[in-house]
Amino acid sequence: MSQELTEYQGPATMEKITSLAKRRGFVFQSSEIYGGQSGAWDYGPLGIELKNRISRNWWKEMTQLHDDIVGLDAAILMHPRVWEASGHVENFTDPLVDCKKCKSRFRADMIPEENLAAKKCPDCGGELTDTRKFNLMFKTHIGALEDESSVIYLRPETAQGIYVNYKNIIQSNRMKVPFGIAQIGKAFRNEIVTKNFIFRTCEFEQMEMQYFVKPGSDVEWFNEWKKRRWAYYEKMGVKMDHLRWHQHGPDELAHYAKDAYDIQYLFPMGWRELEGVHNRSDYDLTRHMQFSGKDLQYIDQDNNNDRYIPFIIETSAGLTRTLLMVLCDAYDEEKVADKGNDDDWRTVLRFHPSLAPVTVAVLPLMKKDGLAEMAKDIQHELKQDFSTDYDQSGAIGRRYRRQDEAGTPFCVTVDYESKDNNTVTLRFRDSMEQVRIPRAELAERIRKEIKAYKRIK
């Protein structure tokens, strides 16, 4: 087995990723012209394309490729009793301390123990308050009245929307245990520590799948889903030595979990959770049965109408956190002097072509002599099948650099020879190699290259 990496070794830093994300229109700070809103980020033209591709890729993997998994899109606003039943009102808390002097707020589990013991602020040395529990759910009011009767929460996980619909789905779609329900959607948490760009934010998106199994088969299914989720990242082309498992110890287990493993990724700031695979036992459905008074038992018609509350195996990945992982994983810097282009370094995002926001950019060598018209015509043809970009401004080397930074895997260049013999050059982002091919073969060649793609670095 290869030795586990102890720390991040690539060229990315969170500063570089944040600045590239802004420069190229992946992610902007929310409400920037007002000084920014912490914990919230806006996804620009390339960011939304990347996010959509990641979520479509997950959706395909979890629904299209599994006959026993169906989709759901539940509302963010749910009956407040849901969150009492789920245990979030009582247990979804972080331990917090405040500095009485500088007013900074810290998660008690994230400051050095000596500061906590001496009750001294790690920033200014001032006195810290006692540790208290702080609930992470955003609370607001629904309707005209603002009192206890109108309290409503923004969901802190998408999972509960699946549990309260599980009977509807069994009935409407004739699902039989074991089966799963997948969902992608927004979740909200009043996080106190929101540094590291989009890693931990107050508004984020989750891609969750809840798999309902017969009690007793839960450990087997738990292991099976661990295997499948690991294989998913392998298929995505993620650097596998940047992934590892981390099992939750007794102190880390969420209130609902019988067993839990995280898939951690080696981000520039170190190993951090990317996705959780949880054995939630029959906790959630039992609680919803108690709190709603509705019978949520499954009736096993193939087995003498046996009744039981299914156990739930959950796979829960952050969509926005996966986007950060994909950016970090793709980020590279490279000296290109020996490649015969500009005598400098380039920054390149080595996205898998199926995830890249722009698949192919079409660039006329010159604007004049009909080259721009021909290039636009080629782009128009290609856009029926691929996401495309057209760029005619600046030196060609500069334009390649811009596309490298956006992670565009293919560039098509139209030059004078193109006009003579209807050929174009196809440039590959990773190797920077170029081949001349007939215009008529372009779409098919790009399709083939996407299928056969192997990352070279």
- On whether 433 is known to bind a ligand per the annotation, the reply is no
Q: Give just the sign of the alpha carbon dihedral 205, 281, 89, 128.
A: negative
Contacts of 328 (CB under 8 A, 6+ apart): 10, 12, 17, 265, 267, 268
Separation of CA 246 from chain center:
19
Task: Based on the shown chain and the rule CB under 6 A, indicate whether residue 329 belongs to the binding site for ligand GAP.
Answer: no
Q: How far is the CB of 241 from ligand GAP (least distance, A)?
A: 20
- Binding-site member from 135, 183, 320, 403 for ligand GAP (CB under 6 A): 320
Q: Is 202 annotated as a binding residue?
A: yes
Cβ atoms of 57 and 355 within 8 Å: the answer is: yes
Q: Is 318 annotated as a binding residue?
A: yes
Interacting residue with ligand GAP among 273, 282, 391, 404 (CB under 6 A): 273
Q: Is 20 in contact with 331 (CB distance < 8 Å)?
A: yes
Tell me: does residue 425 bind ligand GAP (CB under 6 A): no
Cα distance between residue 196 and residue 116, in whole Å: 23
Q: Residue 418: left if φ>0, alpha if ψ -120 to 50, beta else—which one?
A: alpha
Stretch that binds ligand GAP, among 317-325, 338-346, 388-396, 421-429 (CB under 6 A): 317-325
Which listed residue (183, 201, 315, 423) binds ligand GAP by CB under 6 A? 201
* Distance, CA of 110 to CA of 118 (rounded, Å): 15
- According to DSSP, the β-strands at 360-364 and 345-349 are unpaired
Q: Which is nearer to ligand GAP, 184 or 374 (CB)?
A: 184
**Is the Cβ of residue 327 or residue 424 nearer to ligand GAP in the bound state?**
327
The answer to whether the annotation marks 441 as part of a ligand binding site is no
The answer to whether 273 is a known ligand-binding residue is yes
Token readout for 444 is 């098919």
Q: Is 259 in the site for ligand GAP (CB under 6 A)?
A: no
Q: Which two tokens stand for residue 235?
A: 């298929």
- Which segment (12-20, 99-107, 268-276, 293-301) binds ligand GAP by CB under 6 A? 268-276
- Least CB distance from residue 138 to ligand GAP, whole Å? 12
389 binds ligand GAP (CB under 6 A): no
For 103: left if phi > 0, alpha if psi spans -120 to 50, otherwise beta; the answer is left
Shortest Cβ 254–ligand GAP spacing (Å): 7
Query: Is residue 321 involved in binding ligand GAP (CB under 6 A)?
Result: yes
Alpha-carbon distance of 40 to 29, in angstroms, equals 7
Options 61-69, 198-206, 392-400, 418-426: segment touching ligand GAP (CB under 6 A): 198-206
Can residue 284 be called a binding residue for ligand GAP (CB under 6 A)? no
Shortest gap between Cβ of 240 and ligand GAP (angstroms)?
18
388 touches ligand GAP by CB under 6 A:
no
Q: Which is nearer to ligand GAP, 70 or 253 (CB)?
A: 253
Q: Is 94 in the site for ligand GAP (CB under 6 A)?
A: no
Paired with 69 in beta bridges are 180
| Residue 206 binds ligand GAP (CB under 6 A) | yes
Asked if residue 107 belongs to a known ligand binding site, the reply is yes
**Amino acid making up residue 353:** P
Q: Is 282 in the site for ligand GAP (CB under 6 A)?
A: no
Q: Is 138 annotated to bind ligand?
A: no
Q: How many helices (H) and strands (E) does the chain have?
A: 14, 23
Helix or strand or coil: residue 265?
strand
User: Please, what is the angle between helix 319-330 and helix 45-59, to 10°?
Assistant: 110
Cα gap 80→63, rounded to integer Å: 29
Judged by CB, which is closer to ligand GAP: 257, or 372? 257
Cis amide bond preceding 178, omega within 30: yes
Q: Which stretch binds ligand GAP (CB under 6 A): 56-64, 243-251, 309-317, 432-440?
A: 309-317
Amino acid identity for residue 111 in this structure: I
Between residue 167 and residue 196, which ones bind ligand GAP under the rule CB under 6 A? Answer: 189, 191
Indicate the annotated binding residues for substrate: 107, 157, 204-208, 314-318
Residues that bind ligand GAP (CB under 6 A): 157, 159, 189, 191, 200-201, 204, 206, 208, 273-276, 314, 316-318, 320-321
